[in-house]
Amino acid sequence: MIPVTKPYLPSREKLDRYIDGIYERAWLTNNGPLVQELTQRLEAYLGVENLLLVGNGTLALQIAYRALNVSGDRPSEAITTPFTYVATASSLKWEGVEPVFVDIDPDTWCLDPANIEAAITSTTKVIVPVHVFGNACDVETIEAIACQHGLKVIYDGAHAFGVTYKGESLLKHGDATTLSFHATKLFHSIEGGAIIFKRKEDLERARRMTNFGLAAPEEITDVGINAKMSEFQAAMGLCVLDEIDENLKGREKAWHTYEAAFKSKVQLQYRNPSASCNYAYFPMMLKDQEKLFATLEHLRSKDISARRYFYPSLDIASYGKAVGAGISQDVASRIICLPIFYGLSENDQELIANSVIEIVVSSLGEGVL
C-alpha cells in the first residue's frame, strides 16, 4: 500500500552521532545544547527571530494563547476557521476560549477576511487564521482588521514551514505563529513544535510558561506547565534540517507531476501568488461526495492510500459557534489529499496520477469542475 504520507528518516549515522553526544553529556532535557542549537539554526533557516521550541504543535498553540493573554479567567472568544485540523479549535476550547467559526474563501480554502468583522463581539480577543496546506492567508487584511479592533492575531502555521511571502518568511506575521513538528510534517522532530513571536517580551513570558512558570530555580513568576522539547527530539530535528533541501526536492517533483496531470481536470487550491510553496500536501477537490468516495475506493483497489482533509468541517463538531460556514462544509465534504513524501518513486507518482484520472474522468464520464 502506498501511504498518503511517510515520515522522513535522515541519516542514521548522523543521528547516532548526535545521540552519542547526548549520552556523553547526560543532559536529556531542560534547554539542552541540542535544543539551543536547533533554535538558532531554525531561526537562521526560516529567517525569523524569537523562536521557542516546545514539545508538540498543540502545546505551541496553547502556550501562544497564554503568553498573549488570550486565555485566562475572563470570558474570551477567538475568530477562526472551521476548515482545519481539530487541534486548532480544541486547543482554544481547552484553554477556555470559545472558537467562533467564520467561513472560508472557496478558492484559497483559508479564512475569508470579509467574514471576520461581523463575528467580532465584546469578548473577542484574537483571530486565529490557518495557512491551510501551506497556502498563505491574506495577512495584510487580517492584520488591518485586528489592529482596527484591538485584537491579537495568532496564525496556525502547522503546514507553512519554510513558506515565504513577498520575499520574507510568512511566519513573521501576526503576534505569533505556531508550527507543528509532528513526524508526518515536512520538517519534524518526531514530536515537537515551535512558536515564533513578534515581540521578545512575549517570547520570554512563554519560555517561563513552558518550564512551570519558573524565572529561576527558586523564583516562580507565571502559571506554567511542562512544554519543553527534549534533546532526543532536537537531535532528530537537527538531522532532518541537515537534509531538508533533499526532502523538499523529492516532494516538489511529485507535486508538479500531480499538478500537470490534474490541471483543468480537478479543482486545485488557488495559491497566494505572493507566497512560495513548500510542497507539504497535494489536495484536490472533487465534484461531489459520490465522486470522492468512488475515487477513494478506486485508489484503494490499486493499493493507494488517499485521505480526506479536513472532514468534518469543525463548525458541526460541537467545538464552538459558527457565523455561517456553508462553504467550509461544502469544501470539507469534497477534498482529498494524495500521497506526497520523500522517496515516492516516479513510477508510483504516475500510477497515482493515472489512477485518479481513470476514475475522475474516464469511469465517471466527466471532469470534476
Distances (CA, A) of 223 to 135, 170, 216: 35, 30, 14
Residue 271 to residue 225: CA distance in whole angstroms: 38
Q: How far apart are the first and last CA of the chain?
A: 29
Residue 61 to residue 69: CA distance in whole angstroms: 12
Catalytic residue, chosen from 152, 185, 198, 291, is 185
Residue 27 to residue 42: CA distance in whole angstroms: 21
| 3-state SS record for 178-195 | EEECCCCCCCCCCCCEEE
The β-bridge partners of 322 are 101
185 is a catalytic site residue: yes
- Is there a contact between 223 and 209 (Cβ–Cβ < 8 Å)? yes
The β-bridge partners of 53 are 194
Q: How far is CA 121 from the centre of its chain?
A: 27
Catalytic residues: 185
